[in-house]
Structure 1
Amino acid sequence: MNVYPNLTTAVKSRGSLGLTLNFCRCITSGTKISHARKPNQHRSYKVSSPAEFILHEPKELLASGITTFLPPRSGFRGLVESLSTTLKTTNPPSISRLRALLRAYNSDSLEWSKFAQADATKQYTRNLVYEVPNLFNLLLLVWTPCKASPIHDHTDSHCLMKILKGNLRERRYGIPHASYNCPLVQTSDLNYGLNKVAYMSDKLGVHEISNQSQSEYAVSLHLYFPPNAALRGCKVYNVKTGEYNHTMPTTYDSIVEPNSIF
């Protein structure tokens, strides 16, 4: 029997469950979890070139009438397998297909709770689910109530985000002006509920993600391809001046070894 000190689940039925997050280390029977490893630590990787990937316009993401491209394998493990297979076999990657696969998965905390380590002292935690060097990484983020990310870019990468628990708010801003002392201009303010999927890239601007709940944690799954931010960091912006600081990648809050997934 698996034990998740960081996630306590009260199951009423398969389709109805309550969820409470604690702030303990994740201990899972049969699952190896390591902590405080920097992205790609102890590895030598070639930095992916953004030229290998096409940044599609938003209209390309709205393929009318299409709900799925590949029959998704069952459960969270099947989702990870399908995403990995698609990215390994499609060049350039099909954002529409990846988006459809994420949409087709119905969140079940029993399947992903071992990745969900929370930390009340942080705005959010970054938990590595799976990665293929130079191709993609898949992270599960746990958002502390009333906390937000800084406004940031995506280092010439694509980002797909799926809500696994709760709601997240996205404030999007236009592409920052080349000169400083120019406030960022907000272009949208959206809320994403359970199972919703959002897409972001540097062509669409920069954004901030926040958990507006006063008491509930939110959980989201993030697919980055190529995983440039894990290698090169990203830019964090000041909304009033447009100035930015370059931040290097930090350690993951938890890492589940690949053999625990496949």
Structure 2
Amino acid sequence: MECEIINERPVDGRCSSGEVCVQSAPMAANGGHFKSEGNRASRPPAMYSDPSTIVPPASLSELIQTLHDVFAHEDISIEYVQTLMASYKSNPREWKKFAKFDKHRYTRNLVDDGNGKFNLMLLCWNEAQGSSIHSHANSHCFLKVLDGTVKEEMFEWPENCDQAEAMDEDGDEADRKDGSNSGMQKRDESQIVKNACGYINDDIGLHRVENPSHVDKAVTLHLYSPPFDECECFDERTGKHTTAKVTFWSKFGKRTPFGRHRNVPISCTTEAENN
């Protein structure tokens, strides 16, 4: 599932003031499309390809149903999904039952499993909580802010951990745990405001997400396709990386059976968990 990124396309969100807030996100060279796993070859109808045809979902349930309709096809338009998610106007009454916070770290709360095609989840960030620098296991990641504002920092892959070398000659993930001490190169930083939607995949780079506020919480809606249960986390100072298992704090509004320490967000080190 490779996408060569060549340009940027803006996706509009609405700031709390009502003004349009543009969150730019790179799009893929093949027109911004990727293949949804598990589907027979079929092209989506125009209504799921052309963002200009989108009617903003009236509710979170309607957004989820439309996402299921979109992912029922093999060929997925990145721009369409991103614009669709941005067009949903956040309503806390609709997602509050999924919003579970933990005072120690941010939480991942599964909202919908997308029939195996995608995972849709709420990430809940207490004040100043954040992730480590991480990859996305060759998945496509859409990030919409439902409440508050989050800061996204973009990083290049370490030289010894080039994305092009992420697979070994057999097509399996190569062992890259012997990272050098070159450190991480930060290339960009931006804030994603309420109702705006960003996008990233491993070809674009690595990122770190955090709630920059020390007084307000933040809630974000994430879609990952295909779903994944582990990714790589990177130490900013050394560039070294480890593989992290990721789990859910809750599923469909109910607490998972894991203890608190089994809720593993994308935070591999003490330093990362405190960012």
TM-score, normalised by the number of residues in structure 2? 0.68
Q: Who is 2:71 aligned against?
A: 87
Task: String of CA shifts for 1:104-128, please: whole Å, max 9, x gaps.
Answer: 1111101111110111122x11100
- Equivalent residues in 2 for 1:1-262 (5 A)? 50=1, 54-55=2-3, 57=5, 59=7, 61-62=9-10, 68-89=52-73, 91-122=74-105, 124-178=106-160, 180-227=180-227, 229-230=228-229, 233-250=230-247, 252-256=248-252
**Counterpart in the other structure of 1:15:** none
Cα RMSD, aligned residues only: 2.2
Work out the number of aligned pairs and report it.
199
> Alignment identity in percent?
30
Q: Which AA in structure 2 matches 1:59? A: N
Q: Matches of 1:144 and 1:187 in 2, distance apart?
A: 26
Cα distance, 1:139 vs structure 2: 0.7
110-119 or 173-182: bigger deviation = 173-182
Matched residue type, 1:146: A
Residue identity in the other structure for 1:116: A
Report the alpha carbon displacement of residue 254 of structure 1 after superposing the two structures with TM.
1.2
5+ long unaligned stretches in structure 1: 1-49, 258-262
**TM-score, normalised with respect to structure 1:** 0.71
For 1:142, the aligned partner's letter is C
In structure 2, do the counterparts of structure 1 residues 221 and 58 end up closer, same or farther at CA, with 3 Å as the change threshold? farther
Does the 8 Å CA contact 2:51/2:80 hold for their aligned counterparts?
no
Seen in structure 2, the aligned counterparts of structure 1 residues 77 and 56 have a Cα distance that, compared at 3 Å, is farther
Unaligned ranges ≥5, structure 2: 13-49, 161-178, 254-275
- Tell me how far 1:70 sits from its aligned partner: 3.1
- Counterpart CA distance in 1 for 2:11 and 2:3 is 16
Q: Distance in 2 between matches of 1:69 and 1:77?
A: 19
C-alpha change, 1:195 and 1:58, in structure 2 (3 Å) is: farther
8 Å Cα contact 1:175-1:203 kept in structure 2? no
Give the direction of change, closer, same or farther, for the CA distance of 1:68–1:79 in structure 2 (3 Å limit). farther
- Cα offset, 1:56, TM superposition: 5.4
**Pairwise CA distance, 1:226:** 0.7
